[in-house]
Amino acid sequence: MTEQFFTNRVALITGASSGIGRATALRLAAAGAKLGLAARNGAALQEVADQAAEAGAALPIPTDVTEPEQCRRAVEATVERFGKLDLLICSAGLSMRAYFEGSALPALERVMRVNFFGTLYATHFALPHVKRSRGSLVAISSVTGLRGIPSYGVYGASKFAIQGLYESLHLELKKHGVHVGVVSPAFVDTPLRDNVLAGDGQPWHVPPPPPFRIWPVEKCVDRIVRLIVKRRREIVLPWFVGPMLALDRLLGYGFGNWLLERKFPEESPP
């Protein structure tokens, strides 16, 4: 079913040089998709393109998603190469773990530019093409975009913003046959975890260990593929986060606040 679905479909993936974006690109290439691959790291992007090309066609497009003109060029290059665009997957992201007080404004703004505006720009330019093909717009969010978590205030805010944008697009575009979906994973085993920013905008030398399970990246890719194939509106990893959040709301957030305050205490970079 998956191979039949993606055969000869054209996807543009941001953040394709590593992590979730890279793993998704390789999965879709193996299923017969044609890919535009966007990321800043040109050398790493070329490696992914070379691997993906073994199964199909892949076009590396060095792109800084915080620059709207570069996002436009990534979309246009993909359409020019393959003739259409069926699928956009916005996976470019930057993580930050720091209490808001004392964090530097340039660092906070950078997280918003990469996570939210990187998604917004790519979506803006891809939309006319995806609308024409009645395809899919997919954003990689986070469980921090579903519930406020200490030390993830700005990272979570960028993901809340993505949730709001894509929920609105879902309502605006469903009459045009466009699928709009969001994947919200918890902690995933990717290089992003090794480059978590502290409040000064520099990576932690040793990132604070996550207090909950770290999920294999392939589990996340499974959810992305399922969301696209079944045209789901949202999928959360792990599945039980959704019911837990619903119970948390029902109980007035008291227990959830108590648990999160203890699981995510304020820490200082070594």
In a domain, 145, yes or no: yes
In a domain, 114, yes or no: yes
In a domain, 171, yes or no: yes
Condensed to tens digits (0 to 9), the pLDDT of residues 93-130 reads: 999 999 999 999 999 999 999 999 999 999 999 999 99
**Residue whose pair of structure tokens reads 């060029």 in the numeric block:** 73
184 sits in which H/E element = strand 179-185
Domain that holds residue 20: 2-263
Condensed to tens digits (0 to 9), the pLDDT of residues 229-261 reads: 999 999 999 999 999 999 999 999 999 999 999
Condensed to tens digits (0 to 9), the pLDDT of residues 23-81 reads: 999 999 999 999 999 999 999 999 999 999 876 789 999 999 999 999 999 999 999 99
Most confident region among 1-15, 120-134, 178-192, 237-251 by mean pLDDT: 120-134
Condensed to tens digits (0 to 9), the pLDDT of residues 123-149 reads: 999 999 999 999 999 999 999 999 999
In a domain, 183, yes or no: yes
CATH number for position 112: 3.40.50.720
Catalytic entry in 121, 152, 155, 166: 155
Helices (H) and strands (E) in the chain, counts: 10, 7
- Say how many domains are in the chain: 1
Neighbours of 7 (CB within 10 A): 12
In a domain, 269, yes or no: no
Q: Is the peptide bond before 210 cis (omega within 30 degrees of 0)?
A: no
Instruction: Name the pLDDT band for 269 (thresholds 50, 70, 90).
Output: low
Residue 155 annotated as catalytic: yes
Q: Is the peptide bond before 238 cis (omega within 30 degrees of 0)?
A: yes
- Length of the chain, please? 270
In a domain, 270, yes or no: no
Cα–Cα distance measured from residue 220 to residue 235, given in angstroms and rounded to the nearest whole number: 10
Cα–Cα distance measured from residue 12 to residue 34, given in angstroms and rounded to the nearest whole number: 9
Does the predicted TM-score (pTM) go above 0.85? yes
In a domain, 36, yes or no: yes
In a domain, 83, yes or no: yes
3-state secondary structure of 89: strand
